Structure 1
Amino acid sequence: MEKVTAILKSKKFWIAVGLLVLISITYGVGGSGAKIALGETKVGHDELVSKIEELEKEQGVAEQELEDIKAEIDETKTAFNNEESRLDEKRKEVDETLALIDDRDQLADEIKELEDNLKSNQSTLDTLTTNIEGKEAQLEKLENAIVQKKEDPVELLSGVYVVGSDVAAGRYQVTNIGRGTNFFVYSSSGSNKVNTILGDSSIGSGDYVFFANDGDVIETNGKVKLIPVEE
């Protein structure tokens, strides 16, 4: 672009343009010996033709330079487009890298959240384990507390019995003999102390441990065994 501007400002360029105009005038006038004022000097036809040829050569050089400049501009445009394409590719790479960074940060946050949840769950698991161990210890203590006495068990047929006269007062584990059966214990005032079904899981709720006080009434609909246990 700077070369084009220089050519347009060149004195030779404008002289060439002026001479082209003079050529048309000279051929209009005619005659090989005609004289035409060029500036303050009268120039003959042959000399004028020589100058015109010289100027035409200069014009050709200028035109070639102009073509070269255009070619350089085209090359520059091509190079610019190539650089722009490379820049777009770099932008794409940067965008992809930023997206990967975002994904990495998101994954890091998710991992941290999972780790926090794991720690929280581990703490909850530890608490539950401690509670279970405590409950198991309590259960073992209760199971150990129901220690059978060395006294002989008492077998009762289906019927009603009074504690203190038919059965000694104390703590008993009652179990069915044969099929399951309904089993009741009433206090001396008539309130219901025990109301259960003895037997396995398909018939009843299993054995039952209770306190038999003087004056209580025991009622069973089937044969049962009273096993004395420690109080």
Structure 2
Amino acid sequence: MSQAFHLFKIGDSSMQMMAFIKTKKFLYVFTGAVFLLSLFLASSFYTSHIKAQTSAMEDSYLYLRDQVFALENTLEEKSGILESLEEDIETKQGELEKTEENLAGKEAEQAGLEKEYSEKTAQLQEEYDETVAMIERRDEVQEELESLEERLEAETKVLKASLEKELAGLEKEVKTKQAEADKLAAEIEAKNEELENVTTVIREKKEEPVSLSAGMFVVGHDIEPGRYLVEPVGRGSNFVTYDANGKLSVNIILSNRPDHGVSEYVLFLGDQYIIDSNTPATFTPIE
């Protein structure tokens, strides 16, 4: 910019000089100077020679004026080019500033991307190391698993043979125990039948049954003490007995009606027991 400004100042001075050269005043001055010079040289040169010199000087002046005009046009063109260049420089300067700003942003973005890349790379490296370790561990586990499978297969064969042998012995023992259990079951069944016969069969005595009407009776006075089978006469009703101390002994309903009391009842009548019956009943002595 400073060089361009310096060139512009030089060009401005040249333009002022050229503008002065193109004026009539410069022409008069130049002509006067030439004339005075001619007069000064008249003493030593001939008039024809002075004219020739004057003509040559005029030609030089015209040539110089044409050169000045050409230089002026060239200077104007260069001035336009210079102005265009300055505008371009300002534009490029603005673009450069924007580019620098964008570059700064891109550098910051690149730094962030580099940081992210570094973190991702470290994470991937860690995951890779873990994967490699897992693969190595998998191979070790696979070998241990195969060893355990072989050991399990061998122990299974041994255990199976032992269990089969033990099972055969247990089956034999079970058969023996089953035979013993069947024998014991037969014996238990026989004993149960015998017990049932003993506990359920009521053996009647040879004595005649005693019939009592409804009412209250004293054992030992109205009927002999002993074990009896009591049956209602007719529809039946409440039947109660008390021991010698007046404590309730039996409290039932003797009845021949279905789902209403019982049709017969075995009881023991001690001496001085009280019989309170609301129904006539038959007392059959039993053993």
Same-fold call, TM > 0.5? no
| Structure with greater helix share of residues | 2
Q: Which has the higher strand share?
A: 1
Larger Rg: 2
- TM-score, with normalisation over the residues of structure 2? 0.36
TM-score by length of 1: 0.43
